[in-house]
Amino acid sequence: SDYEHLTYPREADEDDIRDLITMYVEAAKRAERAGFDIIYVYGAHSYLPLQFLSKFYNKRTDKYGGTFENRARFWIETLAAVKRAVGERCAIATRFAIDTLYGPDGVELGDDGLKFVELATKEGLVDLWDVNIGDIAEWGEDAGPSRFYKANHQAPWVKDVKRLAKVPVLGVGRITSPDDMVKIITSGQADIIGAARPSIADPFLPKKIEEGRLEDIRECIGCNICISRWEVGGPPLICTQNATAMEEYRRGWHPEKFDKTKQPCSVLVVGGGPAGMEFARVLGMRGYDVHLREATDDIGGCVRDIMRLPGLAEWGRIIAYRRTQLGKLKNVEVHTSVGKMSANDVLSYGADKVVIAVGSHWAVDGLSGITHAPLPGADARLPQVLTPEQVMAGKEVGDRVLVIDGDGYYMGVSVAEFLADKAKKVTLVTQLASVAKYTHFTLESPNLHRMMHEKGIHHYVGHWVEGLEVGNEVKARLYDVFRDGFRRTTEPRAGELPRRRGTEVKELRVDSVVLVTGRLSNHELFSELKQRKAEWAQNEIEAIYHVGDCYAPRLIADAVFDGHRLAREFESADPQHALPFIRERQVWGHATYPALSAGAR
């Protein structure tokens, strides 16, 4: 981990090692008693067996270190002990990082990796090989994001294990497509396919393949937003494709089952972005009469631009899945190229209920969450200043470009790469301690920094922009976010800053500036409709809601979730706001909170 230097283990003596092996055995016995048929001795992601085998970690000089045979000893002894304890009833599997990608300093496929497969095979200790690559220090090499790792990227390593092993081999590596799965099995590359993230995106993936319902599969997009949630250490994971992930128990949501509405009515959905598409899909599954109206020539919203950025084409699956599902629902109509709907258009449409899902936009004045104010001199109406939408729409960009990234996720660095690929000289500035800091949690950060180095994208971290001076060229004044110093006043006075005011700046001269600062909801339509609430009843409209980025800008996964949740809870007393979790509803009781009894699922 990034923080392993905060503690350092002592070297285990032989008594410790015997205790460790006993712990593995006792854990295996508990698993057997619990009824498991396959028990793993896990040796990937820097788990202890791999640390013993790897020269990178193992610096011992006794019988558990040094030579290959000594470094393999702990793993072999553990496998043998577990096999003796539970092997008559349970199959023994081991997950093995066949190559830690450290070169000769670690475990290499052509050296210790295959030698260990041969040794364990000779001893008859393994009933299933589960093969991956990489190390916990950069486990994106294994759980590879689609930006850098394409389908079946671990094939060169897996196939060599299959050649030596005499038992089934399981392979992984961004295997999401049923077609790829068939090729992997029929070609002899592997016997079993591991699909963790694809199963989060669609828990019924195997069943849909079995039934030939390939068009109904929610294919993983490889964004790794699922991984980011537990890397951050926050709430349960989310999934951009599957809003029900981790909500099966606490909200009672089944990914494939939707309660039919007992209050059928017609619903107008204005906007076909991630939230609007998902809301219309789920509401259609529930039996409502849904009209989805999209101003542009296709549904997808912001994803249409995002999928054109380098490495993000697979994000287009967000649209592809929902387009297919919406097309299968006879009670859902999708209308594109209708132009922007006005409040009058909405009021006179004839729907019983309305949901506004018109998304958000990047600030044209450099407004950000850093200063909570527009950036002096920034104006995307000028030729030299652009937003990401304008870049993707083809607005002219000069040769020297400054990308101001206050977002800290994928957009700033992706626009920078997009322009670098067009031979632009790009500099990126961010107030954060590293570029695209959130991508640390999606496992993209190491390769993003390598990419910037290879493509010559210069960057300033821990800096922000004091202002822009726009003329024939743009002068950008950059400052260190810590320039005010650390000494705080001991005599606070109104109107005076608590620290000295730093004045040091760096001046950059560029031809164009891209503002990836803050996003603002497109709230005007909903706000006007809310102001004209007295006219709703006159037009026989029961309610109007807003959803997704239109409500508040957020991650795509959260926008999809918001649309899904609103559709699930459309009959609750206040659909705009989420129902408490099932546990809270049980604790509080419907007698105390009768409004919570409706629309539970």
Identify the helix (H) or strand (E) that includes residue 525: helix 524-531
Question: Is 249 marked active-site?
Answer: no
Q: Write out 389-439 in H/E/C secondary structure.
A: HHHHHCCCCCCEEEEEECCCCHHHHHHHHHHHCCCCEEEEEECCCCCCHHH
Q: What is d(CA 137, CA 145) in angstroms, rounded to the nearest whole number?
A: 15
**Is residue 96 a contact partner of residue 129, using CB atoms and an 8 Å limit?**
yes
Q: Each residue of 251-282: b (16+ CB within 10 Å) or e?
A: bbbebeebeebeeeeebbbbbbbbbbbbbbbb
**Is residue 114 a contact partner of residue 122, using CB atoms and an 8 Å limit?**
no
Cα separations (Å) of 436 from 361, 424, 443?
19, 20, 11
For residue 353, which phi and psi values (nearest 5 degrees)? -135, 155
Q: Is the dihedral of CA 317, 304, 154, 74 positive or negative?
A: negative
Matching residue, tokens 């309305």: 354
Q: What is d(CA 250, CA 245) in angstroms, rounded to the nearest whole number?
A: 11
Q: What is d(CA 326, CA 289) in angstroms, rounded to the nearest whole number?
A: 12
Q: How many CA atoms lie within 13 A of 153 on its CB side?
A: 17
Residue among 3, 8, 24, 47 flagged as catalytic: 47
**Is residue 191 a contact partner of residue 181, using CB atoms and an 8 Å limit?**
no
Instruction: Return the axis-axis angle of helices 317-327 and 274-285, rounded to nearest 10°.
Output: 30
Structure tokens at 99: 């190559």
Q: What is the DSSP string of 280-308?
A: HHHHHHTT-EEEEE-SSSSS-TTHHHHTT
Matching residue, tokens 């260990």: 116
**Is residue 302 a contact partner of residue 272, using CB atoms and an 8 Å limit?**
no
Closest CA to 555 of 310, 273, 143: 273
Closest CA to 268 of 295, 289, 298, 297: 289
**Is residue 310 a contact partner of residue 414, using CB atoms and an 8 Å limit?**
yes
Closest CA to 546 of 571, 528, 573: 528
List active site positions. Answer: 47
